[in-house]
């Protein structure tokens, strides 16, 4: 039996190459948790989309609580 492949764009990693983990193992660059970073390649597109939404929420919450950690300009 042949497996039908979906043709489309594969979601890229949200990594912004500013990897710094906080005390909760959340990357301050992309908002992913350490487990999400290490498992990214094995996630389905649906799971990746869910993680992306969670990342946005985490970074927004962090910006609210500690703006200097998220908006650093070098």
pLDDT digits (tens, 9 = 90+) for 29-51: 999 999 999 999 999 999 999 99
Question: What mean pLDDT do residues 51-73 have?
Answer: 80
Token pair 């970074």 in the structure block, residue? 59
Note the pLDDT of residue 50.
96
- CA 14 to CA 17: how far, in whole Å? 9
pLDDT at 1 > cutoff 70? no
- CA 20 to CA 28: how far, in whole Å? 6
> Which value, to the nearest 10 degrees, does the dihedral of the CA atoms of residues 13, 28, 33, 31 take?
-60
Note the pLDDT of residue 11.
74
Model-level pTM greater than 0.85? no
- CA 16 to CA 14: how far, in whole Å? 6
Mean pLDDT of the chain: 82
- Are 58 and 26 within 8 A, CB to CB? yes
């Amino acid at each position: 039996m042949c497996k039908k492949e979906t043709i489309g764009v594969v979601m890229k990693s949200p990594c912004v190459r500013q990897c710094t983990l906080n005390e909760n193992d959340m990357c301050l660059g992309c908002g992913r948790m350490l487990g999400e970073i290490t498992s990214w390649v094995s996630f389905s597109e649906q799971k990746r989309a869910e993680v992306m939404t969670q990342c946005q929420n985490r970074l927004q919450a962090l910006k609210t609580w500690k703006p200097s950690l998220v908006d650093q300009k070098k």
